Amino acid sequence: MSRIGNKPVEIPEGVSVDVNGQDVKAKGAKGELELRVHDDVSVKMEDGKVVLAPRSQSLKAKKLWPTMRTLVYNIVVGVTEGYSKSLEIKGVGYRANMQGNTLVMQLGFSHEVRYDVPADVQVSVEDQTKVNVSGIDKQLVGQVAAKIRGFKPPEPYKGKGIKYSDEYVMRKEGKKK
């Protein structure tokens, strides 16, 4: 039995969750999200909680059950609190700024790197070296943050590049004489 799958998803105050067949819709203060639960997992509302269970005893259903429960939990948390990722830019002359809905970064290339931010995600830049990515969809926030980091990942010798604020870059020793 799955420890994660056994726990029902609590619905906080101010959030309405609608279960219609395999579709789960959550509406809260930050917005509205929906999710289609896999057919091998049953979903229903009981006593103001969302309860998921595998439809059969197959290995696939047992693996999908806790995953679907976590995805339902993520949409409930997303519409109440939202998600955010912080990125730091390190390096001489490396900086970022927002121009409308486009993130413009100077990362040591001969050209500036431009990234069009998706509509469901908010990106803000503080003091040219700190970038905050926030939104209600956990997967989309993580994907946008990873895409921005992918333009110039941190290198191990001087630590230059874009890194998550809670990421530790393992440093290497340089050449020896």
The tokens describing 137, both together, are 């969809």
Residue 160 is given by DSSP the state -
Provide the percentage of residues in the chain whose pLDDT is more than 90. Answer: 91
- Domains, the chain, ordered by start: 3-80 (3.90.930.12), 83-164 (3.90.930.12)
Instruction: Tell which wins on pLDDT, 1 or 114.
Output: 114
The string of pLDDT tens digits covering residues 6-16 is 999 999 999 99
User: Whose CA is closest to 68, among 148, 140, 129, 4?
Assistant: 4
For residue 70, pLDDT over 90 is answered with yes
pLDDT, tens digit, for every residue of 155-165? Answer: 999 999 999 99
Distance from C-alpha of 57 to C-alpha of 66, rounded to nearest angstrom: 14
At residue 29, the 3 state secondary structure works out as coil
Task: Name the pTM for this structure.
Answer: 0.89
Residues 6+ apart with CB under 8 A from 119: none
Residue-wise pLDDT tens digits, 85-110: 999 999 999 999 999 999 999 999 99
Helices (H), the chain: 3-6, 59-80, 138-150
pLDDT band at 176 (very low <50, low <70, confident <90, very high): confident
In the chain, the amino acid numbered 18 is D
